[in-house]
């Protein structure tokens, strides 16, 4: 004769834990409820999520701007140094070619 305990362990209802199907109640292994229920997200939680995302993007953008603002004078200074070196190198080559043409014997094409 089945008792109430046997009926509870062998029920196949989705609201109760599932049994593996053993006959004896002391050998039955109860599995947790496997039905997944998705909860709805409230409008306030959704707005808070987007507020957090926008705040994170603003902070990252501000940090990037500060880094660029600090580094930009160094970049401009380095470009100015390279430009100065290029001008000196060009004048040096022009001066060498001018001096070398005076020292070299003139060639006559006849």
The model's pLDDT over 24-70, given as tens digits with 9 standing for 90+, comes to 555 556 656 666 666 788 999 999 999 999 999 999 999 999 999 99
Question: Mean per-residue pLDDT for 14-29?
Answer: 54
Model-wide pTM > 0.75: no
The whole-number average pLDDT for the span 85-94 is: 93
Q: Are 20 and 29 in contact (CB under 8 A)?
A: yes
Determine the Cα–Cα distance for residues 38 and 32; give it in Å rounded to an integer.
17
Higher pLDDT residue, 71 or 8? 71
Average model confidence (pLDDT) across the chain: 77
DSSP helix/strand/coil, 30: strand
Task: Please state, in angstroms and rounded to a whole number, the distance separating the CA atoms of residues 95 and 88.
Answer: 10
Asked if residues 20 and 7 have their Cβ atoms less than 8 Å apart, the reply is: no
Residue with tokens 């990252």: 60
């Amino acid at each position: 004769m089945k008792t109430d305990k046997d009926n509870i362990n062998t029920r196949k209802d989705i609201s109760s834990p599932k049994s593996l199907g053993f006959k004896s109640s002391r050998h039955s292994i109860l599995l947790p409820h496997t039905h997944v229920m998705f909860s709805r997200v409230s409008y306030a939680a959704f707005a808070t999520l987007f507020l957090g995302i926008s705040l994170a993007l603003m902070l990252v953008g501000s940090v990037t701007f500060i880094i660029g603002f600090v580094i930009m004078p160094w970049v401009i200074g380095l470009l100015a140094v390279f430009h100065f070196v290029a001008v000196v190198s060009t004048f040096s080559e022009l001066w060498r070619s001018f001096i070398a043409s005076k020292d070299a014997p003139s060639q006559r094409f006849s």
